[in-house]
Structure 1
Amino acid sequence: MIKRVFNIVKGLVTYDADREFYAKVFPDTLNRVDLMRFRKMSKTDLPEVLEIERAGYNYPWAEGVFHDCLKAAHYDCWVCEDAENKMVAFCIVSTAVGEATVLNLCISPDERKQGLGGKFMRHIIETAQDRKAESVFLEVRPSNTAAVALYESLGFNEIGMRPGYYKTENGEREDALMMAYTLLPSE
Structure 2
Amino acid sequence: MSFRLAPLGRTDLARCAELETVLFPGDDPWRESAFRAELAAGHHYVGAYTDGGLVGYAGLSVRGPRGGAEANVHTIGVDPRWQGQGIGRALLRALLARADEFDAPVYLEVRTDNAAAIGLYEAHGFTRIGMRRRYYWPSGADAYTMARPAHVAEEAT
What's the TM-score bracket when you normalise by the shorter of the two chains? 0.7 to 0.9
Gapped runs of 5+ residues in structure 2? 153-157
Instruction: Extract structure 1 runs of 4+ deviating beyond 2 A.
Output: none
Q: 1:106 aligns with which of 72, 77, 96?
A: 77
Aligned to 1:46: 13
TM-score scaled by length of structure 2: 0.85
- 1:184 Cα shift? 2.6
Aligned to 2:128: 158
AA aligned to 2:39 is L
Q: 1:81 aligns with which of 38, 49, 52?
A: 49
1:78/1:91 contact within 8 Å kept: yes
1:178 and 2:149 aligned = no
Equivalents in 2 of 1:96, 1:43: separation in Å? 22
Aligned to 1:21: none
Describe how 1:36-75 pairs up with structure 2 within 5 A: 36-58=3-25, 59-73=28-42, 75=43
AA aligned to 1:176 is A
Structural RMSD (CA): 1.6
Q: 1:120 aligns with which of 56, 76, 91?
A: 91
Higher RCO (CA 8 Å, separation ≥ 6 residues): 2
Q: 2:113 aligns with which of 123, 128, 143?
A: 143
Equivalents in 2 of 1:92, 1:118: separation in Å? 13
Equivalents in 2 of 1:167, 1:113: separation in Å? 26
User: Which has the larger helix fraction?
Assistant: 1
- 1:85 Cα shift? 5.1
- 1:114 Cα shift? 2.1
Equivalents in 2 of 1:39, 1:114: separation in Å? 17
SS at match of 1:119: helix
For residues 51-109 of structure 1, what are the alpha-carbon distances to aligned partners after superposition, in whole Å with 9 as ceiling and x for unaligned? 22221111311222111111003x11211102x15211011111112111111111111
Gapped runs of 5+ residues in structure 1? 1-31
Equivalents in 1 of 2:60, 2:103: separation in Å? 12
AA aligned to 2:34 is V
Equivalents in 1 of 2:93, 2:46: separation in Å? 13
Identity rate of aligned residues, in percent? 32
AA aligned to 1:145 is A
